[in-house]
Amino acid sequence: MNKQSPYIQILREHGHRITQARRIVLRVIEDAAGHYTSAQIIQAVEALDPRVGRASVFRALELFTRLGILRPTYIRGGMTPVYVLMSGGHHHHVICSECQVIHDFDDCGLDDMTRQLETRLNLRIDGHLLEFYGVCADCQAADA
Amino acid sequence: MNKQSPYIQILREHGHRITQARRIVLRVIEDAAGHYTSAQIIQAVEALDPRVGRASVFRALELFTRLGILRPTYIRGGMTPVYVLMSGGHHHHVICSECQVIHDFDDCGLDDMTRQLETRLNLRIDGHLLEFYGVCADCQAADA
DNA sequence: ATTTATGCAAAACTTTTGCATGGGA
DNA sequence: TCCCATGCAAAAGTTTTGCATAAAT
């Protein structure tokens, strides 16, 4: 039994094949710890294995998003999202509105709220994304 | 003094002009209570005033996002975001992974966490977006 | 009056699709 | 072997830009 990304296991459980394209895209995203746009992912994939085509990257991103492994989120000026890893179903970060730096953090303490919402709204919740917007210490210093 | 959208006031405070294009885009988004894609916004704007061009809609969306009035967020099924109103700087919703219905809710109770984060990470926080993913009651019933 | 913002149309990108072929299970 | 997934290249969308003109302040 090889040690491998837990995400590979998710693919397997859902009956999807473990292809080279999917493996490479996953590796790129895990290495980058998220925060890559599609263009950056395509470029990094190309560097690792030029035989993987753009279309497969997009197809992999779409599949991973559908499976809850990734989540696109919009930062900085453009309308192209960056992809964050939803490890354990959730992700949390702070984005600086000035320099756009992203600071991930764990321990969001939303378990209670999640259970309350499930009861109150009568639904099942599998994961969440929590984003804070603000001004980081460096930018505050620079502004002063 | 006219009664008017508080967002108009934000534009004014930042020295931006209150133009017809911006007024119409704002009205469309407030009427829609968010959750419109750029294409839907362009279409609705066109219906209200055909003289407003696409480019101005995109420019308005970009400005409003920069000012923290709007936030683009991804909904499954396409890579083009829907825009949610960040009233009071924050927004909270639950998205059903099956039917994609979006259920907004208030009262996120994140004030404590916000203050803790500000202290812990030494930064200033102005707003946030909290998204939960799950399966709504209807879809659970349909699945059973 | 002074600029900022607009509308138009073209250019630039990004994402999606169709189809023959290759690679996992 | 079977058929899902791929690569390619073209098509389809979406967003951005340049510039002369209009409209806010």
**Percent of chain B having pLDDT more than 70?**
98
Q: What is the mean pLDDT of residues A80-93?
A: 95
Residue A27 confidence class, pLDDT cut points 50, 70, 90: very high
User: How far does the CA of A72 sit from the C1' of D1, in Å?
Assistant: 38
Residue B67 confidence class, pLDDT cut points 50, 70, 90: very high
Q: What's the confidence (pLDDT) of residue A143? A: 87
- Considering only CA atoms, which of B38, B43, B55 is closest in space to residue A79? B38
**Percent of chain A having pLDDT more than 90?**
85
Torsion angles phi and psi, residue B18, rounded to 5: -90, 90
User: How far does the CA of B12 sit from the C1' of D22, in Å?
Assistant: 20
In the predicted structure, residue A3 carries a pLDDT above the cut 60: no
Task: Please state which of the ranges B9-18, B102-111, B125-134 shows the lowest mean pLDDT.
Answer: B102-111
The residue among B32 and A24 whose pLDDT is bigger is A24
**A123/B134 Cβ within 8 A:** yes
Q: What's the confidence (pLDDT) of residue A85? A: 96
Q: What's the confidence (pLDDT) of residue B107? A: 73
In the predicted structure, residue B3 carries a pLDDT above the cut 60: no
Whether residue A129 lies within 8 A of chain B, CB to CB, comes out as: yes
Cβ neighbours of residue A58 closer than 8 Å, sequence gap 6 or more: A38
Q: What is the mean pLDDT of residues A93-107?
A: 91
Distance of alpha carbon A131 from alpha carbon B127, whole angstroms: 8
Instruction: Count other Cβ atoms within 10 Å, centred on residue A116.
Output: 12
CB-CB: which of A110, A124, A133 is closest to B68?
A133
Distance of alpha carbon B23 from alpha carbon A128, whole angstroms: 33
- What token pair was written down for A121? 């709204």
Protein contacts on strand D: list nucleotides below 7 Å from a Cβ: 4-10, 13-18, 23-25
pLDDT tens per residue, range B5-24:
899 999 999 999 999 999 99
In the predicted structure, residue B1 carries a pLDDT above the cut 60: no
CB-CB: which of B68, B76, B135 is closest to A66?
B76
In the predicted structure, residue B64 carries a pLDDT above the cut 70: yes
pLDDT tens per residue, range A33-53:
779 999 999 999 999 999 999
**B132/A125 Cβ within 8 A:** yes
pTM over 0.85: yes
Domains delineated in chain A: 1-85 (1.10.10.10), 88-144 (3.30.1490.190)
In three state form, how does the secondary structure of B71-93 look? EEECCCCCCCCEEEECHHHEEEE
In three state form, how does the secondary structure of chain A look? CCCCCHHHHHHHHCCCCCCHHHHHHHHHHHHHCCCEEHHHHHHHHHHHCCCCCHHHHHHHHHHHHHCCCEEEECCCCCCCCEEEECHHHEEEEEEECCCCCEEECCCCCCHHHHHHHHHHHCCEEEEEEEEEEEECHHHHHHHC
- What token pair was written down for A47? 């560097």
Cβ neighbours of residue B120 closer than 8 Å, sequence gap 6 or more: none
Residue A32 confidence class, pLDDT cut points 50, 70, 90: confident
Compute the nearest-CA separation of B5 from chain A (Å): 23
Distance of alpha carbon A10 from alpha carbon A121, whole angstroms: 28
Distance of alpha carbon A47 from alpha carbon A25, whole angstroms: 11
In the predicted structure, residue B30 carries a pLDDT above the cut 80: yes
Cβ neighbours of residue B45 closer than 8 Å, sequence gap 6 or more: B21, B24, B25, B28, B52, B57
Nucleotide nearest residue B50, measured CA to C1': C7
Q: What's the confidence (pLDDT) of residue A22? A: 98
B1 touches strand C (CB under 7 A): no
The residue among B142 and A33 whose pLDDT is bigger is B142
